[in-house]
Chain A
C-alpha cells in the first residue's frame, strides 16, 4: 500500500508545482480564462483529450460493458467523427472572433445579454451535477488507495483541485492536463499486458468472457436504436461541450487546431479502446460486483503489483481531475465573468475582477461537495450522469452554436427558444420518455425546430452581430 501512497504524493506535488508556475505566468484575464489564447497543438490536443476522458471512461464504462457487451465499444467511433466536424466545419467560423467564454460568444452573435445569461445558467447547473458525479468517483479511489472514508476522499480531492485551478486558472489546467494525460496513457498501457496475462492470454480471455456473457460479441446485447441515438449523443455532446469550445479559442490558429484535434482523436480513442479491453478482463475476474463502478479500482488492487496499481489508480484520478478542473473553469467563468461582471455589476474594477474570477471557481467547486455531503446525488452510476450531461449540452448548445455561424437568419429569440426547449425536452424524456431512445434525439430535434421556426417569425439579426462570422456577400 505504501507504494501506492508514494505515487499519489509525488503526483500531487507535481500538480501543485504546475499550479504555482501558472500563477506566476498569468497576467491578464485572457491568460486566466484561455491560457493566453496562444496554445500549440501538443498542449492544445492534450488538453482536449484529457478533458474529454473523464472518470466516466474508467469507472463507468465497465458497468455498461457488463450489460451491453462489445457493441457498446462501437459508440467510440462517434468521437473522432465529432472532433473532425469541429475542426473542419465549426472551428473555421467559430474562431473568427475570439471570445473568453461560450456565453460571451452567445451575446456577441445573438446581440442579447439575456441569451448570454441563459446559457451561463444552463452551464452552471449542468456542470455542478457533472462535477458531483466525478467527485463521487474520486471518493471511491481515495478510499481504495488511502483507506479513508469516501466522503473524506471527496472533500480532499475537491480541495486539491481548487488549489491549483484557482491559483493558475486555465494555464494551470492545461499544464496539469498534459501531465494527467501522460499518467492516464501510461497507466492503461502498462495494465493491459499484465491483466491479459493474468487471465491466460487473449484467446482464453475471449472464451471466458463469452462464458460469463454469451452476448458480449454480438449486436444483440443492446437495442440498435439506443446504440445509434447514444452515438448521436456522444457526437453532438462532444461538439457542443463548452469546455471543448473554449479550447478552440485557446489554440493559436486553424493549423494548430487541425493538428491538435488529430492528436486528441488518437489519444481519446486509444485510451477508450484500452479501457474496453481492461473491462473485458474485469468482467471475467469479477462477474458479480454490486456496482460496475468498483471494477477498475478492484482490478488495480488485485491484478497489478502495488506500484503499478498505484499508477493505474493515479490514471483514474487523472481522468477525473483533468475533467473537473476544466469544468471548474467553465462554470467559474460563467458565474463570475458572464453573470456577475457582465450582468450584475459591469463597472467592477480590474483588481476586484481578479478576486471575483477566483471566487467564482471556489463557489462552483464547493457547492457540489456540499450537495453530496447533504446526501443529494450520491450513489448514482457515474456513466449515467455523464450521458445525461452530454445530452443536455447537445440539446442546448449544438444548434445555437452551429447555426449561429452557418445560418445568418438565426435570431436571439430563436436561440433562446432552442436552448430552453432542448433542455426541457431532454429532462422530460429522461424521466418520462422511452428508454430505447437516448434523450438527446428528441431534445436536439425540438431545439432545431424551435430555432428555425422562431427565428423565421422574429425580425432578422442586425448586420453587426452576424458580419464577423459570415463571408461578405
Chain B
C-alpha cells in the first residue's frame, strides 16, 4: 500500500517541488 500511495500522491509532490524550483530560478535570474 505504501507504494500505491507514493505513485498517486508522489506525483503531486514532485510537481510542487518543480514549481518551487522554477520560481526560485526566476527570482535568481532577475535579481
Which A residues are within 8 Å of any B CB, using their own CB? 70-71, 73-74, 76-77, 80-81, 84, 88, 206, 210, 217-219, 255, 258-259, 262, 265-266, 269, 273
Contacts and interface: CB of A to CB of B under 8 A. Distances in A.
Interface in B14-31: 14-15, 18-19, 22-23, 25-26, 29-30
Given A218-B3, A262-B23, A255 B30 contact: yes
Contacts of B14: 77
Contacts of B23: 262
Contact of A70 (B7, B22, B29): B7
B3 A80 contact: no
Contacts of A73: 11
Contact of B18 (A74, A80, A255): A80
A77 B15 contact: yes
A320 B12 CA distance: 26
Given A76-B15, A80-B15, A84-B25, 7 more contacts: A73-B11, A76-B11, A77-B18, A258-B30, A265-B18, A265-B19, A273-B12
Nearest to A276: B11
A80 B11 contact: no
A77 B11 contact: yes
Closest 10 CB pairs of A and B: A217-B4, A217-B7, A80-B18, A258-B26, A73-B11, A70-B7, A269-B15, A84-B22, A74-B11, A262-B22
Contact of B29 (A219, A258, A266): A258
Most chain A beta-carbon neighbours within 10 Å: one of B3, B11, B29: B11
Interface residues of B, number: 16
B14 to A, nearest CB: 6
B22 to A, nearest CB: 6
Contacts of B8: 70, 206, 217
A88 B25 contact: yes
Interface of B: 3-4, 7-8, 11-12, 14-15, 18-19, 22-23, 25-26, 29-30
Contacts of A80: 15, 18-19, 22
B18 A81 contact: yes
A287 B19 CA distance: 35
A321 to B, nearest CB: 27
Nearest to B18: A80
B4 to A, nearest CB: 4
B7 A71 contact: yes
Contact of A266 (B7, B12, B19, B26): B19
Nearest to A80: B18
Nearest to B3: A218
28 contacts: A70-B8, A73-B11, A74-B7, A77-B11, A77-B14, A77-B15, A77-B18, A80-B22, A84-B18, A84-B22, A84-B25, A88-B29, A210-B4, A217-B3, A217-B7, A217-B8, A218-B3, A218-B7, A255-B30, A258-B26, A258-B29, A262-B26, A265-B18, A265-B19, A266-B19, A269-B15, A273-B12, A273-B15
Contacts of A255: 30
A81 B29 CA distance: 17
A434 B22 CA distance: 36
A219 B30 contact: no
Contacts of B30: 255, 258
Nearest to B26: A258
B20 to A, nearest CB: 11
A218 B4 contact: yes
B7 A265 contact: no
Contacts of A219: 7
Contacts of A84: 18, 22, 25
A73 B10 CA distance: 11
A258 B19 CA distance: 13
A81 B21 CA distance: 11
B28 to A, nearest CB: 11
A218 B8 CA distance: 9
Contacts of A266: 19
A71 B11 CA distance: 9
A77 B15 CA distance: 7
Contacts of A258: 26, 29-30
A258 B30 CA distance: 10
Nearest to B29: A258
Contacts of A88: 25, 29
A207 to B, nearest CB: 11
A217 B30 CA distance: 41
A273 to B, nearest CB: 7
B6 to A, nearest CB: 9
